[in-house]
């Protein structure tokens, strides 16, 4: 074999290897169930997964808005359907799985918050936040994970928050649900690892979504949150897509039990004051 032939052969191998590497994010032939797909981070996740070839089921308690997400994906050349789901109701979740089948990818985004100091929180408010944020996630994975385990493959992605790690006044119950989600899914990752099912948690910082509208409406509060991150700004929902794609695809094949921070550096730096240096 001449030097020229060896170089040509190496180039062919390299081209094939590069193509294989590019394919790590390819989700063609896989089905993704995105719960909370009507707006915000859930809508962004639906669009991102569809852009990389997944057939996406946009599920939300607001079915009309979920249908708009699916229609937008279809108009952009992707594959998507919509369905009503209420993760406060196990029967509603089970009906979606019976209709759509066990997905290859589950993404769970819904959350609510009651911003009150802990000693001012009523028991009803406590139960409302816990029922959706923590028990809702439990109900979802209980419905989906057994089928993934039986099949021997799957990726479960739930959205937690930096509040699983750092807190502030008025965030006690919300933070507890986010920390609970993290630890619950880490345990699930350990339980399902032998069945080749990966389970991960994404922890955003502050993101411009309907949940954070009350903060955005207060200029001082909005600016303080922006200044807390290293990037000095809030995130947009589309900036969560990269993390979802990584954990959903073969690019994340060795990632499980993780707590993936997408927080603009919020938890990396101290305080909101730059010392004079």
Residues tagged active-site: 174
3-state SS track over 47-75:
HHHHHCCCEEEEEECCHHHHHHHHHHHHH
- On the CB side of 62, CA atoms within 13 Å amount to 12
Question: Using CA atoms, how far apart are residues 101 and 174, in angstroms rounded to an integer?
Answer: 31
Closest C-alpha to 27, from 184, 167, 155, 185: 155
Going through the chain in order, the beta strands assigned E by DSSP cover 31-35, 55-60, 79-84, 105-108, 154-159, 197-204, 259-262
Given a contact cutoff of 8 angstroms between Cβ atoms, the answer to whether 163 and 207 are in contact is no
**Residue carrying the six token digits 């004051």:** 273
């Amino acid at each position: 074999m001449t030097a020229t032939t060896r170089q040509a052969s190496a180039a062919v191998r390299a081209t094939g290897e590069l193509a294989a590497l590019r394919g790590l994010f390819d989700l063609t032939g896989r089905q993704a169930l995105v719960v909370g797909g009507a707006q915000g981070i859930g809508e962004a996740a639906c669009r991102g997964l569809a852009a990389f070839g997944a057939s996406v089921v946009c599920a939300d308690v607001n079915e009309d808005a979920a249908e708009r997400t699916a229609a937008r994906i279809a108009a952009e050349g992707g594959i998507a359907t919509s369905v009503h789901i209420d993760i406060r109701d196990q029967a509603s979740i089970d009906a979606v799985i019976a209709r759509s089948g066990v997905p290859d990818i589950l993404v769970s985004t819904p959350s609510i918050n009651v911003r009150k100091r802990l000693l001012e929180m009523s028991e009803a408010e406590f139960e409302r936040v816990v029922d959706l944020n923590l028990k809702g996630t439990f109900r979802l994975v209980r419905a989906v994970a057994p089928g993934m385990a039986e099949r021997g493959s799957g990726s479960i992605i739930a959205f937690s928050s930096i509040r699983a790690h750092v807190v502030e006044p008025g965030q006690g119950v919300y933070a507890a649900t986010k920390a609970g989600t993290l630890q619950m899914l880490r345990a699930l990752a350990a339980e399902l690892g032998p069945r080749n099912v990966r389970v991960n948690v994404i922890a955003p910082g502050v993101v411009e979504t309907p949940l954070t509208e009350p903060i955005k409406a207060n200029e001082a509060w909005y600016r303080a949150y922006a200044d807390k991150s290293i990037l000095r700004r809030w995130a947009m929902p589309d900036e969560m897509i990269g993390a979802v794609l990584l954990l959903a695809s073969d690019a994340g094949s060795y990632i499980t039990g993780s707590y993936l921070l997408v927080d603009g550096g919020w938890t990396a730096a101290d305080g909101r004051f730059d010392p004079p240096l």
